[in-house]
Amino acid sequence: MLHSLPALLDDLEQKLMAAQDPLPLLGGIRWQEVIDWPKTREEAAWLKGKLDAIQFLINGLHAPLRATLQRLNPGATYAPRGGPSLPPSISYRYGTRV
């Protein structure tokens, strides 16, 4: 099935704003069949703005988790990857590929 890139981004943004899981949407996409890629500089600028807005939403949803991790380990400094270091009660391998 063909998917329009602008429609996909709109759907993704709506799912994030409604606090729904976006994985079923993203998992059902056949990326080689995505259409309506930007053809002009203006369309590319619109796409970049839309992606920036989605990234802002994702960061906003991630903020409570980061705050919780910082609260679990007060006084911790930032780790090399830019996040807080994990407290000893949480495994480092959580969410990472081995």
Taking only the tens place, the pLDDT of each residue in 33-92 is: 889 889 999 999 999 999 999 998 888 888 887 777 777 776 665 555 556 565 666 555
Do 27 and 4 share a structural domain? yes
**Angstrom distances, CA of residue 41 to CA of 3, 26, 44, 46, 89:** 21, 26, 5, 9, 49
Do 83 and 50 share a structural domain? yes
Do 69 and 55 share a structural domain? yes
Element (H, E) at 27: helix 23-27
Do 77 and 48 share a structural domain? yes
Do 23 and 60 share a structural domain? no
What is the predicted pLDDT for the residue at 50?
A: 92
What is the predicted pLDDT for the residue at 84?
A: 59
Tens digit of pLDDT for each residue in 12-37?
999 988 888 888 888 888 888 889 88
pTM of this prediction exceeds 0.75: no
**Whole-angstrom Cα distance, residue 93 to residue 7?**
35
Do 43 and 33 share a structural domain? no
Report whether 32 contacts 63 (CB < 8 A).
no
Domain limits for position 92: 39-98
Total count of domains within the chain: 2
Do 57 and 72 share a structural domain? yes
